[in-house]
Amino acid sequence: MATAPEIDAPADPLEAFRSEAREWLAANFDPDLRGKDNSMSAVEGPNDDTPEQAAWKNAIGAKGWSVPTWPKEYGGGGLSRAEARVLQEEMAKVGAWNPMGGSMGVMMFGPTLLEYGTEEQKQEHIPPIVRGELRWCQGYSEPGAGSDLASLQCFAEDHGDHYVVNGQKTWTSGGQWADKCFMLVRTDKSKKHEGITFLLCDMTSPGVEVKPIQLISGSSPFCETFFTDVKVPKGNRVGAEGQGWTIGKRLLQHERNSLGGGGSSASRLFAGAPLSALAKKYVGVDAEGRIADGELRSKIIKHEMDMRAFALTLRRVQLDAKSNSGPSAATSIMKNVGARIMQERSELLIEIRGMAGLGWEGEGFDEDALKDTRHWLFGKAVSIYGGSSEIQNNVIAKRILGMLDHQ
Amino acid sequence: MAILTEEQTMLRDMAREWADNESPVTAFRKMRDAAPAEMFDAEAWKAQAEMGWAGILVPEAQGGVEMGFVSLGAVLEQLGRTLTATPLAATSAATAAIVLGGSEAQKAAWLPRIASGEVVATLAVDEGPRFAPDRISASVSGGKLSGTKEFVTEGDSAGLFVVAAADGLYLVAGDDAGVSRSARYLADSRSHAQVVFDGAAAEKLADGGADLLIKVTDRAAAATCAEMLGMAEAAFAQTNDYLKTRVQFGQVLASFQALQHRMAKMFTELELMRSAVEGAFEAIDANRPDVPQSVSLAKAIAGDTLNLVSREMVQLHGGIGMTDEHDAGFYLKRARVLETMWGNASWHRERFARLGGY
C-alpha cells in the first residue's frame, strides 16, 4: 500500500515541540478513538458524538490545534508551518484525527475571513470555528450559475443599515445543518463581476428555507436554499460592496487546495486496503501467485503507480511552498488528479468485487463494500464541485499556459 | 522541482544556458546531417567534460565532483530539452557501475579518464531488441569474454564497455582486439551499435554484490528518464508556443477549448512525470531500499508521458510537424528510442507489480 511519503525529518529545534505535542496527545487523545473519525460530518450531517468524541473535540478546540497555524488571538494554535507538520506527524502516529478538519469554516471561510474580515468580524466568527461550535455553509452556486458563477442573480438590496436578500442558492453543502452561510450576492445588476458582494447570513433568519436534494448515492448532503426578504445587517458584509468576486475567488482557492492536495481528502485517498490484496481475494491467483485476471492486474498496477506519482507531487508542492519559491504550478493539477485517482479507485473496487461491490443495503454484503458503493457514487461529485475538471483545465490552459480566449 | 542546493541550482542553470546557447536543436540537426562516426559532436562533448559533467558521479579522489544523481539528472534534463547529442547518460551509467562495483584499482584505472572526458564509456547488456537483463548468455572463460551485444548506446565510440555476462559485470577496453562494432542506424540518428566480443580481455567488477546488474541498469534507466523529462518539457513548450501563433478560422489555435484541454491534460501528466522522475533520483542518492520501485515508477510514467507529448507535438503542429524541416520529428523519433531503452513502460509496470507482490 502506498502512503504519502514522509516529509523530511524536522530539525532539532522542533524536537522540543515534538515532545510537547506527544505529551499533550497522550493526555488528551483516547487511543480507543483511533479510526472513529467524524470529520465528514460537515457534509454528511451531525452525528451524535459519543462522550469520548466530544471530549476530544473540546480538548483540541480549546488548545487551538484544530487550526494549528491560525493566530492565537482568535483561538488558533499559533504554530509555525514546521510545528504544524510535527503535530500532524505525531497525530498520525497515535491515530488521532482532527474533528474540525473537514469543516467549511476551517477549510474555506476561516482563512478568507482572516485575510479580508474586520477585527470585529474575526473576533466574532473565528473562535467558534476553531472550537467547532458553529457550522458554516457556502451560498455560491445558483440554478443558473454553476461553473459560470459570476452570472449569479441572488439579489441584496440596500436598506440603509441592512440588506434585504432575495433569490435562490443550490448545492448548499450541509445547508440543513448549518448555522451560518457565507454567500455571494448581487448588489449591482449593471455590472457582472464588480456587482457582487460577500455577505454572512444567519441561517435562522426569517425567510431562509432549505430543501435537501437527494443524490444518486442516496444521501442528501446538499440543499436548495431559498431567500425571501431576508434581512442581513451591513456589519455582516465582508470587504467593500462590489468586492465580493475577489474575496469569493480567494475562498475558492482555499477550497481547491483543501479538495485537491490538502489533508483530509488526500488521507482518505490513501486509506483502505490495498487493491491488490482485495483482488487476490475476489479474483484468485495464478500459478505464480499473481492476480489471476491479467487485465485487471494491469489496471490495478497503473492505478497504484498513478497514486504514487500523485503522492510524490503532493510532497513536491509542499516542499516548494516551504522553500518560499512561491506556489508551484503543480498546485493547479492537484484537484483533477486527486479526483481522477479517487474515482478510478472506486471503479476498480466494483470491478474487483463483482456484484458484491454493488450492494446497496441489507444482508449479504460486508460493511466496507456497502460504504464503497456509496463512496463510488458520491465520489462522482469530486470532478464536478469546486470547479469541474473542465473548468480546472480552462484555468491551467489560460493562467498557466497563457492560452487565450477567442478574439 | 526537488529542493536543490545552491551548488545544484548553479549547475542546472549553467547546463540550461549552455544547452540553449551552445547546443540548440540546430546543433543536433547539423550533427545528423554530418553524421560523424561517433554520432555526437566531439567538441561539444569536450566542452561538457570541461564543465565537469562527465565527473558528476565520479568520487573526488578520482578527479570527479561526486554530486550524485539529483545533480546529474538536472544536467541531463537540460540537455534533453535541446536534444543534445551527448554520451553523458551512457557514460554516467557505466560510471555508476564502476563506482558501485569496481575495485580500487579499477576505479583508479578508469574513473579519472572518464571524469576528464577522455573516455566515453557505456553499458552493454542486451542481446536482442528488447531489454532483458535476465537473458544474458555472454560468458567469460579465462578472463576472455565472448558474446554479442545489440543496440549498445554510444557503441560506435565507447572506449570502455561495462558488459553484462552470465556471471556478472565485466570491464572491457574499447580498443581490445577482441572487440568489433557494427553501426545500427536507428530513427533517432544517434549511436547504437552491435558489439561483438570475441575473446576480449575482461576484468570482473567484483565488489558490487549479486544484484549489481539491476542496480546499474536502474541507474541507467534513471539517467534516461532525466533526458526524457527535458524532451517532454521542451516538446510541450514548443507546441504551446505554436498554438499561440497559428491562425485558423480567424482565431489562434490556442483559443480553441478542445486544444486547451489537451494541453492541460499534457501539462498535468508532465507534472506527475517530474515528481516521479525526481523521486527516483532522490531514492538513488539516498540509497533507499525502494530504488527499484522508484525507478520503475519513473520509467513507466516517463515513457507514457513522453509518448503522449511527442505524438501530440506532431498532431498539433499539423502538416508542418510532418516535415523534416521542423524539429517535431526529432523529438518523436528520439522519444521512442528512449522509451524502449532500459525497459519500456509495460516492462517497468510489470516489475513494479512483481516487487509489490501483485
B2 confidence band (pLDDT: 50, 70, 90): low
In this structure, of A10-14, A49-53, A69-73, B216-220, the range with the lowest mean pLDDT score is A10-14
3-state secondary structure of B204: strand
Of A308, A314, A394, which to mutate for an interface test with B (greatest number of B Cβ within 10 Å)? Answer: A308
Q: How far apart are the two ends of chain A, measured CA to CA in Å? A: 49
Sheet containing strand B139-141, strands side by side? B139-141, B144-153, B192-201, B179-183
Sign of the dihedral through C-alpha A187, A193, A198, A199 = positive
Query: How do residues B197-210 score in pLDDT, each as one tens digit?
Result: 999 999 999 888 88
pLDDT, residue A326, reads 63
Nearest to B300 among A305, A319, A336 (CB): A305
- CB within 8 Å: B276 and A297: no
Q: How far apart are the two ends of chain B, measured CA to CA in Å? A: 31
Residue B233 grid cell: 518539457
Question: Is A124 an active-site residue?
Answer: no
pTM, two decimals, is 0.85
Chain A residue numbers touching B275 (CB-CB < 8 A) = 309, 312-313, 315-316, 330
Residue pair A186/A154 in contact (Cβ under 8 Å)? The answer is: yes
Closest CA to A352 of A266, A288, A287, A272: A272
Contacts of A363 (CB under 8 A, 6+ apart): none
DSSP B357: T
Q: What does the mean pLDDT of chain A come to?
A: 88
pLDDT, residue A4, reads 43
CB pairs under 8 A between A and B: 113
Q: Which of residues 253-312 of B touch A (CB under 8 A)?
A: 254-255, 257, 259-261, 263-265, 267-268, 271-276, 278-279, 297, 300-301
**Is pLDDT of B38 > 90?**
yes
Number of Cβ within a 10 Å radius of residue B214: 16
- CB within 8 Å: B268 and A394: no
- CB within 8 Å: B272 and A313: yes
DSSP A106: I
Distance CA A290, CA A295 (A): 12
pLDDT, residue A5, reads 44
pLDDT, residue A325, reads 65
Nearest to A276 among B243, B276, B358 (CB): B358
Tell me the angle at which helices B291-317 and B345-355 cross, rounded to the nearest 10 degrees: 150
DSSP B250: T
A35 confidence band (pLDDT: 50, 70, 90): confident
Query: How do residues A168-201 score in pLDDT, each as one tens digit?
Result: 999 998 899 999 999 999 999 999 999 999 999 9
Nearest to B267 among A313, A322, A401 (CB): A401
pLDDT, residue A51, reads 87
Buried b (16+ CB within 10 A) or exposed e, B325-340: ebbbbbbbbbbbbbbb
Closest CA to A85 of A21, A156, A150, A3: A21
Where is A62: in which H helix or E strand? helix A51-63
Residue with cell 505464480: A288
Query: How do residues A315-372 score in pLDDT, each as one tens digit?
Result: 898 888 777 666 678 888 999 999 999 999 999 999 999 999 999 999 999 998 999 9
- State the ipTM, two decimals: 0.90
Of A396, A398, A399, A405, which to mutate for an interface test with B (greatest number of B Cβ within 10 Å)? Answer: A396
pLDDT, residue A7, reads 45
Number of Cβ within a 10 Å radius of residue A89: 15
Smallest Cα distance from B297 to chain A, Å = 6
Strand-pairing partners, residue B194, are B182
3-state secondary structure of A177: helix
Q: In chain A, what's the furthest Cα-to-Cα distance?
A: 79
Query: How do residues B104-142 score in pLDDT, each as one tens digit?
Result: 999 999 999 999 999 999 999 999 999 999 999 999 999
Q: Is A35 buried (19+), middle (13-18) or exposed (0-12) by CB count in 10 A?
A: exposed
Distance CA A257, CA A253 (A): 6
A41 confidence band (pLDDT: 50, 70, 90): low
> Per the residue annotation, which of A255, A304, A344, A351 is the catalytic one?
A255
A387 confidence band (pLDDT: 50, 70, 90): confident
Strand-pairing partners, residue A180, are A136, A202
